[in-house]
Chains A and B, each alone.
Chain A
């Protein structure tokens, strides 16, 4: 599904749910990601960000929700293959380590 420039492809790898993200997470696209996140039933979630161009503060917020949700269910959340721009944003807000594997 593609809404306002964010494409979310879901994949289940064993117990892990992987979201392949493409485009950017902004104020508008974060809503669809929020909805997809709420539909995850397991407790292990990975954002694969190879094709993710940019995130705004709304993107950080969704990642925090994911982290909290998964941790509270005894699982984990992390993001992989982030580009330098996204890494820099997460580093600035002090969350890069929290969201890395």
Chain B
């Protein structure tokens, strides 16, 4: 890693220096200001390369600048002092940007309004830092160093605000393979408009003043002041437009999510509260985001056998939700065909392992209750153990050896466990969204709290509602992190 990095920073250093030299020299005699400076679009390279590459970029530009000064016959001592001002100029934006966007994922993309504004401010700040250091440095050599500093400030800010965006977007595209977003495209267009506008302003000035007086500081200052006002207006207009399109995009996405959410909810049994004389059942699924990866299901296999399940897909949000849709249909399909419980799980697993390159998986607690006898058969495929509340109120977590989750590895055999429910017993299954819900101090809800709520309820509906209330109360003030799903079944004999 380190060996690889070394030549890269030297490369950045060398290329920055050469490019800086190449882009500065033509402007040296074209648009001179004072006797030792000139209007130079390459002024944008130092802060932007500095921000992007750090010290190698800054030193490269400083060296390029030194070379330009030297071949133009500037005194060598002066040249060296300017190197220091160039380092201040290039490192200032780096320090600001890294402090603000330390943990940002794609930190050099300017796709959002706050980032665009922050980039403008950073560019203005680095121009100011340079101007101040230039005033100090030139005060040893010239009398009107303050006026020179002012010129530097407006020169650099105008150029940085105009050319900074396309240069940064280009660098980010080349070195971070970042995609150019809609708002970045708009910024590039904005730059084009600005350059055209500045050209018009410059031509107008040239028409009304002769070339000699253009060389005078006042005239050039005036061009810049006009240009800066113009740039500010264009950037503001672009920001308003970008903000508008971002909002529209978000609204569209939100709308799509709402529809996805209702499709998902309608996939689960419509009536969560199902009962006949032999049992009563209640279930709920509360996704952390609009859509979730948990599901519950229950249906009659034949007139005496009730199938019921709670499951949890890995991950969350849209990817989990898509896999959940697949898992719920597959499991329901095999279960309704009337095969043995081990076979249902085995087939579902094989099916979910196919065409599953990203290895999404689902943990499932699946049970079939014989409503005549109270005999329960269940398979725990990598899921949380169930809670059993006996009719006398005794409540226990029933731990049995669990089998492998579904969708992970094929060729797995699933082993069924058995239990027997008596009249009045309540069986409670859930996802880890219940037990691992966290409160403000990071504590988890845990099995004990869950069991005491199961113990104190003899109606499935009340049980589930109280559990959800208690979990929400426990986590109040903390954003819900995981989907919360549960199913309670009471056997009435």
- Residues of chain A at the chain B interface (Cβ within 8 Å): 1, 27, 57-58, 60-61, 64-65, 67-68, 91-95, 98
Q: Does B360 touch A at the CB level, under 8 Å?
A: yes
| A57-B363 Cα distance, complex, nearest whole Å | 10
- Residues of chain B at the chain A interface (Cβ within 8 Å): 1, 312, 314-316, 358-361, 363, 381-384, 402-405, 408-409, 412
* 15 A-B pairs whose Cβ atoms sit less than 8 Å apart in the complex: A27-B315, A57-B314, A60-B314, A61-B315, A61-B359, A61-B360, A64-B409, A65-B358, A68-B359, A93-B363, A93-B382, A94-B403, A94-B412, A95-B382, A98-B408
Residues of chain A within 8 A (CB-CB) of B402 are: 91-94
B315:A64 contact, CB within 8 angstroms = no
Name the residue on A nearest B436 (C-beta): A56
B314:A95 contact, CB within 8 angstroms = no
Residues of chain B within 8 A (CB-CB) of A1 are: 1
A64:B382 contact, CB within 8 angstroms = no
Residues of chain B within 8 A (CB-CB) of A60 are: 314, 361, 405, 408
- Point out which of A60, A93, A95 has the most chain B C-beta atoms below 10 A from its C-beta: A93
With contacts A27-B316, A92-B382 taken as known, whether A64 is within 8 angstroms of B404 at the C-beta atoms is no
A94:B315 contact, CB within 8 angstroms = no
| A95-B359 Cα distance, complex, nearest whole Å | 14
Other CB < 8 Å A-B pairs besides A58-B315, A93-B402, A93-B404, 12 of them?
A27-B316, A57-B315, A61-B315, A67-B409, A68-B359, A68-B409, A93-B405, A94-B382, A94-B404, A95-B382, A95-B404, A95-B405
Helix, strand, loop or mixed for chain A's interface? helix
| A60-B312 Cα distance, complex, nearest whole Å | 13
Residues of chain A within 8 A (CB-CB) of B363 are: 93
Residues of chain A within 8 A (CB-CB) of B408 are: 60, 64, 93, 95, 98
CB distance from A95 to the nearest CB of B (A): 6
CB distance from B104 to the nearest CB of A (A): 12
Name the residue on A nearest B409 (C-beta): A98
Residues of chain B within 8 A (CB-CB) of A92 are: 382-384, 402
Residues of chain B within 8 A (CB-CB) of A27 are: 315-316
Residues of chain A within 8 A (CB-CB) of B359 are: 61, 64-65, 68
| A58-B313 Cα distance, complex, nearest whole Å | 10
Residues of chain B within 8 A (CB-CB) of A65 are: 358-359
| A95-B360 Cα distance, complex, nearest whole Å | 14
Going nearest first, the 8 A-B pairs with the smallest beta carbon separation are A94-B404, A93-B382, A57-B314, A64-B359, A93-B405, A65-B359, A61-B314, A94-B382
| A57-B316 Cα distance, complex, nearest whole Å | 10
B361:A94 contact, CB within 8 angstroms = no
CB distance from B317 to the nearest CB of A (A): 9
Residues of chain A within 8 A (CB-CB) of B382 are: 92-95
Residues of chain A within 8 A (CB-CB) of B381 are: 94
| A12-B116 Cα distance, complex, nearest whole Å | 43
CB distance from A48 to the nearest CB of B (A): 18
| A61-B409 Cα distance, complex, nearest whole Å | 11
CB distance from B358 to the nearest CB of A (A): 7
CB distance from B236 to the nearest CB of A (A): 35
| A8-B243 Cα distance, complex, nearest whole Å | 38
Residues of chain B within 8 A (CB-CB) of A67 are: 409
| A8-B221 Cα distance, complex, nearest whole Å | 54
| A93-B316 Cα distance, complex, nearest whole Å | 18
CB distance from A11 to the nearest CB of B (A): 12
Residues of chain A within 8 A (CB-CB) of B316 are: 27
